Amino acid sequence: MWTRNTYWFDFAIFFGAYTVGSICFGRFEDWKPRWRRVLKTLLATVIFWGLLRFGGRQVAWGVMGALLVVVVYLHAVWLPKKGINGWTAEPREKYLELVGAKRG
């Protein structure tokens, strides 16, 4: 049986996970201008589409899985070594200084 290779299901999972992440963790980027947050979403979408289109599903989800491992490492190991809680980003001032946030 011939089937057309569409990416709607992949994008549904991708945007579902991206939305949950934005809802749960977007408060850590509240200091960034909105245009940068919109640009980040567009860039993530284009990169994911490119991985799907030119690398296939295994490559796209493999890269997403590798990024998840990096994020878990940063929050579970690297941030605590810097004296910052990886789940709550506290103390807030120390977190903002580490990420180079400019409050204004």
One pLDDT digit (tens) per residue for the chain, 104 residues: 555 668 899 999 999 999 998 888 888 888 889 999 999 999 999 999 999 999 999 999 999 999 999 999 999 999 999 999 988 989 999 999 998 877 65
pLDDT in tens, 7-16: 899 999 999 9
Identify whether 26 is part of a domain: yes
- How many residues make up the chain in this entry? 104
Identify whether 2 is part of a domain: no
Identify whether 18 is part of a domain: yes
CB-based contact 75:86 (threshold 8 Å): yes
pLDDT in tens, 78-95: 999 999 998 898 999 999
Q: What is the pLDDT of residue 103?
A: 61
Compute CA 9 distance to the chain's CA centroid, rounded to the nearest angstrom.
Answer: 19
How distant, in Å, are the alpha carbons of 17, 26, 83, 98 from that of 86? Answer: 19, 14, 9, 12
Identify whether 3 is part of a domain: no
Identify whether 57 is part of a domain: yes
Show the domain range for 94. Answer: 8-99
Domain count, the chain: 1
Q: How many other CB atoms are found less than 10 A from the CB of residue 4?
A: 4
Contacts of 55 (CB under 8 A, 6+ apart): 63
77 vs 71: CA distance, rounded Å = 10
Identify whether 1 is part of a domain: no
